[in-house]
Amino acid sequence: MAAVRTVVVVGGGTAGCTVAGVLAQNKNFSVILLEAGPLINDNQERDFFGVLKSQDASVTHRSVSLTQTTSTDDYLQARGLGGGSAINAMVSVRGHEDDYNNWSQEFGCTEWSWSDVAPAFDALPLNLYEPNDNELGVVGEALLRGVPGAQRCALAWNNGRQSARIFLDVAQQTGALDVRTGAVVSRVCIKDGNATGVELSDGTVIVADDVVLCSGALATPHVLWASGCQHSAIGRGLQDHPAVMFSTTLNKPAAQGFVVTSHASIALDGVLDAGQMMAYNHLGDASRTLGGLGVALTHVWSRGHISVDGASTRVQFNMLSDSRDRHAMRELVRLAVVHTSTHAMSAIGAGWTCDENARPCSELLDMSDDELDAWVSSHLGHQSHAVGTCRMGSAQDPNAVVSPHGQVHGVSSLWVADASVFPRIPRANTNLPVTMVAARIANFISESARP
């Protein structure tokens, strides 16, 4: 019988829970999952804005710029067991099949084409939930009636549990899983090109046969740098979906319940699903009378980077720096404005507006390209879908930090399995793709340990 390998997983978010859960069910592995944040109460999970406001499950990064011209923007990331999966809006989308074929063909990740990943999505032990008529909410329902092709969202709402901790539930019964919260990893211990364990911020060293980094796309580069890894591609390739929000004062308050319940994919310049409209039944205001329409570009070219400046980390997204993205964003915003003027969408409230001064959305249609670019730039937001800072690819690819199996180039026994490894952001909210990627990398780690 093979000796049991000790694996340390750094970060108990979407990817970390998935990797730990998959590996702990393999009798050849003993898994220690280290999460910097606290345990997030299950009862908090459905209350999207409530969890975000409570701030004990998230951290707002302040050294972030979304565009080349903005100096700082707030950028929220999870901090607690379950990670983003425990605090997110639960929208579960796989992305377009061409996204993964592109990973395979353009980025040399040959085992990540649609024909490889579709069965992996199918195999995830998740029962996604579709809101029923009573749960749709007024904006969710209006989007379905007013926008061709709009659909109910598949939500990660598995029998009352939304987060990736589902993967831990089964594994914890096997006894080969040790979950520790409040455990901040400061570096990976690397000796002679081999990862030997991790050091925590209190100086404790945990010895391991393998270390899997799942700290998220903003934190994983930092852990690698702190561990002495110098690959020039670490921190580069950063992406998120640029987004703007429209709002309307509703005729009556939204009911308690799911916040995002329906969405519509938009084709732009012949690219399917290049944009997305998401119905927010309310925007977290106390009276729940503010409905929202999130308008996001999902097919994205622009890339940014993370860099270290002394003790601090700077995050520069460079959103809309590529002219193809600026063009597509203009088209998307104009289309979304047209959709807000349909009877179904407009009759639910006092009219859709596009800024804090209640400027009617329709005024955006009168703007020139330059004026609309300026409006987008000053109202730009994001979807907390950071990916791509430690991309997968072959050892010959100068932009690749890890192999297509997630192993860090140049360091044995060190893996990355979180949103960092995406070669390019898919046309999807990222949680489900991260889960699929993490489950596959866990399987690659299992295979690598076979005698």
Choose one: 62-70, 86-94, 131-139, 313-321; the region binding ligand FAD (CB under 6 A): 86-94
Choose one: 166-174, 227-235, 314-322, 429-437; the region binding ligand FAD (CB under 6 A): 429-437
Q: Which two tokens stand for residue 415?
A: 């893996």
Taking the least distance from each CB to ligand FAD, the nearer of 198 and 364 is: 198
Choose one: 11-19, 132-140, 300-308, 399-407; the region binding ligand FAD (CB under 6 A): 11-19
Which of 11, 131, 137, 221 is in the footprint of ligand FAD by CB under 6 A?
11
Contact between 90 and ligand FAD by CB under 6 A: the answer reads yes
Which of 23, 434, 436, 442 is in the footprint of ligand FAD by CB under 6 A?
434
Taking the least distance from each CB to ligand FAD, the nearer of 432 and 441 is: 432
Nearest-approach distance from CB 220 to ligand FAD, in angstroms: 8
Contact between 35 and ligand FAD by CB under 6 A: the answer reads yes
Choose one: 32-40, 98-106, 280-288, 393-401; the region binding ligand FAD (CB under 6 A): 32-40
Which of 7, 8, 9, 15 is in the footprint of ligand FAD by CB under 6 A?
15
Instruction: Report the distance separating Cα 92 and Cα 430, nearest Å.
Output: 8
Contact between 223 and ligand FAD by CB under 6 A: the answer reads yes
354 Cα distance to chain centroid? 25
Nearest to 180 by CA among 76, 36, 303: 36
Instruction: Report the distance separating Cα 446 and Cα 112, nearest Å.
Output: 18
Taking the least distance from each CB to ligand FAD, the nearer of 81 and 411 is: 81
Nearest-approach distance from CB 296 to ligand FAD, in angstroms: 11
x/- mask, ligand FAD, residues 192-221, rule CB under 6 A, reads ----------------------xxxx-x--
Q: Which two tokens stand for residue 124?
A: 């995830």
Taking the least distance from each CB to ligand FAD, the nearer of 376 and 432 is: 432
DSSP one-letter string for 70-109: -S-EEEEEE-SBTTHHHHS--B-----HHHHHHHHHTT--
Closest residue to ligand FAD, based on beta-carbon distance: 13
Residue 274: what are its φ and ψ, rounded to 5°? -75, -20
How wide is the angle at C-alpha 316 spanned by C-alphas 78 and 397, nearest 5°? 95
Nearest-approach distance from CB 276 to ligand FAD, in angstroms: 11
Contact between 432 and ligand FAD by CB under 6 A: the answer reads yes
The helix (H) or strand (E) run that includes residue 382 is none
Which of 429, 440, 441, 442 is in the footprint of ligand FAD by CB under 6 A?
429
Contact between 76 and ligand FAD by CB under 6 A: the answer reads yes
Contact between 238 and ligand FAD by CB under 6 A: the answer reads no
Taking the least distance from each CB to ligand FAD, the nearer of 77 and 247 is: 77
Instruction: Report the distance separating Cα 337 and Cα 352, nearest Å.
Output: 8
Query: Where in 232-270 does DSSP place strands (E)?
Result: 236-238, 243-249, 260-268
353 Cα distance to chain centroid? 27
x/- mask, ligand FAD, residues 323-352, rule CB under 6 A, reads ------------------------------
Taking the least distance from each CB to ligand FAD, the nearer of 197 and 372 is: 197
Instruction: Report the distance separating Cα 112 and Cα 121, nearest Å.
Output: 12
Contact between 441 and ligand FAD by CB under 6 A: the answer reads no
Cβ-count burial 227-244 (b if 16+ within 10 Å, e if not): bebebebbbbbbbbbbbb
Contact between 297 and ligand FAD by CB under 6 A: the answer reads no
DSSP one-letter string for 167-226: HHHHHHTTT-EEEEES--EEEEEEETTEEEEEEETTS-EEE-SEEEE-S-TTTHHHHHHH
Instruction: Report the distance separating Cα 185 and Cα 190, nearest Å.
Output: 14
Nearest-approach distance from CB 370 to ligand FAD, in angstroms: 32
Contact between 381 and ligand FAD by CB under 6 A: the answer reads no
Binding residues among 172-191 for ligand FAD as defined by CB under 6 A: 184-185
How wide is the angle at C-alpha 113 spanned by C-alphas 150 and 420, nearest 5°? 80
Instruction: Report the distance separating Cα 285 and Cα 384, nearest Å.
Output: 20
Which of 6, 14, 239, 276 is in the footprint of ligand FAD by CB under 6 A?
14
Instruction: Report the distance separating Cα 366 and Cα 180, nearest Å.
Output: 55
What's at 370, amino acid-wise? D
The residues binding ligand FAD (CB under 6 A) are 10-16, 34-37, 52, 76-80, 83-85, 87-91, 184-185, 214-217, 219, 223, 384-385, 418-419, 429-432, 434
